[in-house]
């Protein structure tokens, strides 16, 4: 499972990096499904399954990263959380 950083480091996070700044924030101005999928693709995720937006505006679904199946979340800021 991904390690969630502190709130302070999460606020400075612009997305997942190879080192893994991974956090999700709720918000009503979420990406569209297509934008969330593009965000995942640009961060090295493949085989992205259907994404569903939860009540907090966070897109959740499955994908492959580094050859491993993972569960992912993309928040309204574009932050990616990998579980």
**13: confidence class by pLDDT, cuts 50, 70, 90:** very low
List the structure tokens of 50. Answer: 């259907």
pLDDT at 83: 83
- For residue range 48-68, what is the model confidence (pLDDT) as tens digits? 999 999 999 999 999 999 999
Q: Quote the CA–CA distance of 39 and 18 in Å, as a whole number.
A: 14
In degrees rounded to 5, what are phi and psi of residue 40? -65, -45
Question: Mean pLDDT of all residues in the chain?
Answer: 77
Choice between 24 and 78, residue whose per-residue pLDDT is larger? 78
pLDDT at 67: 96
């Amino acid at each position: 499972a991904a390690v969630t950083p502190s709130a302070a480091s999460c606020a400075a996070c612009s997305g997942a990096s190879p080192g893994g700044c991974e956090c999700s924030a709720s918000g009503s101005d979420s990406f569209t499904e297509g934008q969330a999928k593009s965000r995942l693709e640009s961060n090295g995720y493949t085989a992205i399954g259907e994404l569903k937006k939860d009540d907090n505006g966070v897109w959740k679904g499955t994908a492959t990263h580094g050859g491993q199946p993972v569960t992912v979340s993309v928040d309204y800021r574009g932050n990616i959380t990998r579980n």
